[in-house]
Amino acid sequence: MITRPRRTEAAAKPSGRVPVDLVATGLRVAYERDVEILRGVEITAAARRISLVIGPNGAGKSTFLKAVAGLAPVTGGLVTLGGVDITRWRPRDLLAHGVALVPQNGTLFPAMTVRENLQMGGWLRRREKAWLGESIEAVVNRFNLPRHLVDRRAGDLSGGQQKLVEIMRSMIMTPTTLLLDEPTAGLSPKMASQVYEQIAALPGDLGVTVLLVDQNVRSSLAISDDVYVLAMGLNNDRGTARDITERLGEITAGWLRQGVSGAVKS
Amino acid sequence: MRRPKSSPKSLLDMQTAVQTLILGTAIGGVYALMGVGLNLIFGVMRVANFAHGALYMIGGYAAYYLTLATGAPMPVAVIGAMVVGGCVGYFVNAILLRPVYRSRLERPSEFTLIVTFALSLMATSAAAVFLTPNYRKFEGMWPDTITLFGFVSMSGDRAVAFVTALILLCALLWLVHFTDLGRGWRALTQNRMGADIVGVDVFRLANLAFATSGALAAAAGAVLVPLYLAYPTMGESVIVKSFVIVVLGGLGSIAGSLVGGFLLGWAEALGSVYIGSGYTDIYGLVIMLVVLLFLPRGLFGISEREV
Ligand SMILES: Nc1ncnc2c1ncn2[C@@H]1O[C@H](COP(=O)(O)OP(=O)(O)OP(=O)(O)O)[C@@H](O)[C@H]1O
Ligand SMILES: [Mg+2]
């Protein structure tokens, strides 16, 4: 039985966090009428595990994350969080239930400083000033962000630095389910491996369920538990990280044959 | 041009110039108030509100009828007009523009353009039908002519309008830069998706932006009634001026609109004294075109990514 709970901001607090599965069944998305980008995608992000979604450019990976996060028009199917129907919820309500997204493209506030951007991550808990200050301090330390960058305008940072701040901001949002869209795109190898380390630690340290979309297949497979392969808006393959790693050559060869797939007229 | 400095002729020229600039500054403050409100909505929601002039008109009439019915003094009438303008702005957004916030709407900016334009026409006709096209006026706070520095003379009501505009502009700047509401507005202006994902309540903040903008426009209308009277089409030239200011200063930039308002005031004042008073409405447009030619994003326009 699927129920719709009251949407409260209180749920964003880490107290009483119960790790739950995020399940998408038969998810369909169309930005324009008759052009379906997702055509019935089935993906489960199991509680306290890292689930990886890979696939060729234009497969619909970002669209999938956006649809789950309430930012893309869902035309069919269901998304549930611990059995609760969260399909088409607004990002704000999802965040209040612990679901946070770091999109693929830049979402920082360029005219605000890095600190102000991180503070925006605590928007739902903005009255808890002391907590917010401590969380920002902790995140800056954990990600080794150079001190002098904290009071710089976010728009003046390099692309890689901006991406890092975005990931840091999502930590301030204290999610229980974190959706990450290519978190290491544009990062230097050193920074990237540091970010992967942080992501890998999320389920164990903070009980976070991670749903990761990544082009950096080898590195992301190394930290993932379950893997889904999308192509042309459909599930193409799935397996454990070990299983997919073994068959990776065969899978990516398939992508080349298909070429870059896009929308398919229904 | 090369006359000796102390000659009475050049002194007179100087005095005219100063008087013109002061008058331009006085009206520029009220223009800035209009421009800032329009730009707030543009920044927060990425839509142009064509009913901005109608809110100015509603403010003028609200102040007029409040004074007529209760004999309330000017400050009370202005506050009353702001409450009316704020409520109208709030409900226009909350009820009529609601579909914009549903992700399924394909062309949100065209939708708002049509809705707000239709509203503006309706408000103007409704005013003509129900309130008659007659010109209305109430006594301002300070109807006497005042003299500054011994040679600048202007009506006291103009000074009152300017000071009121200045107070409200300061209040808005405080709201935008020192409150959580303002922080949310700035976030929405700078990155809509960013604001969405950190949990900013877009719908509520847009309602409040519309309410604030409506209140400011109504205040502008109210303080100018003693000078320019209230009548159904009073908002028409004002909406054009507001758009000129927004484009001049840069879309989404509050500081830009502030500067833009004063620039427009000066351009109109200088133009009507030194070129001809018949084309007041043209000067602003000319300045806007010239600025756009060299700075396509306006004076304070930031790049598309940063808005
Ligand atoms: N806002 C949008 N409006 C219309 N079509 C869109 C929109 N966003 C994405 N698409 C289309 O949806 C398809 C899938 O895009 P999506 O961004 O989900 O792919 P992806 O798998 O994330 O690719 P990449 O690996 O390049 O990031 C593409 O064909 C794209 O053109
Ligand atoms: Mg993508």
Candidate of A39, A63, A66, A179 to mutate for ligand 1, largest count of ligand atoms within 8 Å of Cβ: A63
How many residues does the structure list for chain B?
307
Nearest atom in ligand 1 to the alpha carbon of residue A182 is 27
Strand partners, A29: A38, A74
Kind and range of the H or E run holding A28: strand A22-32
| Contact (CB, 8 A) for A17 and A176 | yes
Q: Which residues of chain B does A124 touch, with a Cβ-Cβ cutoff of 8 Å? A: 198-199
How far apart (Å, rounded) are the C-alpha atoms in residues B270 and B257? 20
How far does Cα A80 stand from its chain's mean position?
A: 16
Does residue B1 fall inside a structural domain?
no
**How many Cβ atoms from other residues are within 10 Å of residue A207's Cβ?**
14
Minimal-distance CA residue of chain A relative to B191: A109
Give yes or no for a contact between B64 and B230, defined as CB atoms under 8 angstroms apart.
yes
Among protein residues, the one with the nearest Cα to ligand 1's atom 25 is A57
Amino acid A15: pLDDT: 39
- Written as tens digits, the pLDDT of chain B (307 aa) is 454 555 667 777 888 889 999 999 999 999 999 999 999 999 998 889 999 999 999 999 999 999 999 988 999 999 999 999 999 999 999 999 887 776 555 677 788 889 999 999 999 999 999 999 999 988 887 888 888 888 888 888 999 999 999 999 999 999 999 999 999 999 999 999 999 999 999 999 999 999 999 999 999 999 999 999 999 999 998 999 999 999 999 988 999 999 999 999 999 999 988 888 778 888 989 988 998 898 888 888 755 444 4
Encode pLDDT of A167-181 as tens digits: 999 999 999 999 999
Angle at A109 between CA A104 and CA A112, to 5 degrees: 150
ipTM: 0.88
For residue B301, is it within any domain?
no
Measured between CB atoms, which of A100, A102, A109 is closest to B187?
A109
Mutate to test the pocket of ligand 1, among A54, A62, A255, A258 (most ligand atoms within 8 A of CB): A62
Angle between helices B74-91 and B52-70 (to 10 degrees): 140
**Phi and psi based region of residue A56 (left: phi greater than 0; alpha: psi -120 to 50; beta: remaining):** beta
- Gap from CA of A56 to ligand 2 centroid (Å): 9
Identify which of A31, A37, A182, A264 to mutate to test ligand 1's pocket (most ligand atoms within 8 A of the CB). A37
Q: Amino acid letter at A133?
A: G
- Say what the alpha-carbon torsion angle A25, A30, A33, A36 is, to the nearest 10 degrees: -80
The CATH number for B151's domain is 1.10.3470
Q: What sign does the CA torsion over A144, A150, A155, A157 have?
A: negative
Distance of CA B126 to the CA centre of its chain: 22
DSSP state letters, A219-248 = HHHHH-SEEEEEETTEEEEEEEHHHHHHHH
The answer to whether the Cβ–Cβ distance between B197 and A106 falls below 8 Å is no
User: Which residues does residue A180 pair with via DSSP β-bridges, in sequence order?
Assistant: A102, A212
B227 located within any domain:
yes
Residue B12 lies in a domain: no
Residue B195 resides in a domain: yes
Query: Pairing between strand B152-155 and B145-148?
Result: antiparallel
Report which of residues B70 and A263 the model is more confident about.
Answer: B70
pLDDT band at A5 (very low <50, low <70, confident <90, very high): very low
Which residues face B279 on adjacent strands? none
Of A92, A95, A109, the CB nearest to B190: A109
Instruction: Specify the pairing of strand B145-148 against strand A209-213.
Output: unpaired
How many other β-carbons are positioned within 10 Å of the β-carbon of residue B145?
11
Compute the 3-state secondary structure of chain B and give helix, strand, coil in percent, each to the nearest 5: 75, 5, 20
Percent over 90 (pLDDT), chain A: 83
> Does position A12 have pLDDT exceeding 70, yes or no?
no
* DSSP 8-state secondary structure symbol assigned to residue B302: P
Looking at all shown ligands, the one closest to residue A231's CA atom is 1
Inter-chain touch A110–B199, beta carbons under 8 Å: no
Residue ranges making up the domain that contains B271? 20-294
Q: Which of B106, B180, B191 sits opposite A109 (nearest CB)?
A: B191
Residue whose Cα lies nearest atom 17 of ligand 1: it is A62
B165: tokens are 């505009």
For all residues of chain A together, what is the average pLDDT? 89
Hey, which bits of chain B come out as E strands?
Answer: 145-148, 152-155
Task: Locate B31 and state its tokens.
Answer: 């223009």
Q: What is the pTM of this model?
A: 0.90
Strands A177-181 and A209-213: parallel
The position carrying tokens 């320019």 is B228
In a domain, B98, yes or no: yes
Are A120 and B196 an interchain contact pair (Cβ–Cβ within 8 Å)?
A: no
User: Among residues A81, A82, A59, A54, which one has the least CA distance to residue A70?
Assistant: A81
CB contact under 8 A, A108 and B197: no
Q: Which residues of B touch A112 (CB under 8 A)?
A: 186-187, 190
**Per-residue model confidence (pLDDT) at position A223:** 97
List chain A residues with CB under 8 Å of B106: 32
Angstrom distance (rounded) from CA A257 to CA B5: 84
Query: Does the domain formed by A22-107+175-257 have CATH 3.40.50.300?
Result: yes
Asked whether residue B4 is assigned to any structural domain, the reply reads no
Give the A-side interface with B, CB within 8 Å: 12, 32, 69, 71-73, 91-92, 95-96, 100-103, 105-112, 116, 120-121, 123-124, 126, 155, 169, 173
Candidate from A101, A110, A123 with C-beta closest to B190: A110
Are A182 and A104 spatial neighbours (Cβ–Cβ below 8 Å)?
A: yes
- If you measure CA to CA, which chain A residue comes closest to B199? A92
Which residue of A9, A65, A88, A120 is the best one to mutate when testing the B interface, meaning the one whose CB has the most B CBs within 10 A? A120
Cβ A182 vs Cβ A215: under 8 Å: yes
Of A52, A11, A13, A24, the residue nearest A242 (C-alpha): A52
Counted across chains A and B, CB pairs separated by less than 8 A come out at 74
| pLDDT recorded at residue B106 | 63
* Tally of domains in chain B: 1
Whether B10 is covered by a domain: the verdict is no
pLDDT digits (tens, 9 = 90+) for A143-202: 999 999 999 999 999 999 999 999 999 999 999 999 999 999 989 999 999 999 999 999
Which ligand has its closest atom nearest to the C-alpha of A217?
Answer: 1
Would you tell me how many other CB atoms lie within 10 Å of the CB of residue A186?
16
What ligand 1 atom has the least distance to the C-alpha of A104? 27
Residues of chain B neighbouring A73 (CB-CB closer than 8 A) = 103-104
Contact flag A123-B200 (C-beta cutoff 8 Å): yes
Ligand 1 nearest-atom number relative to CA A63: 18
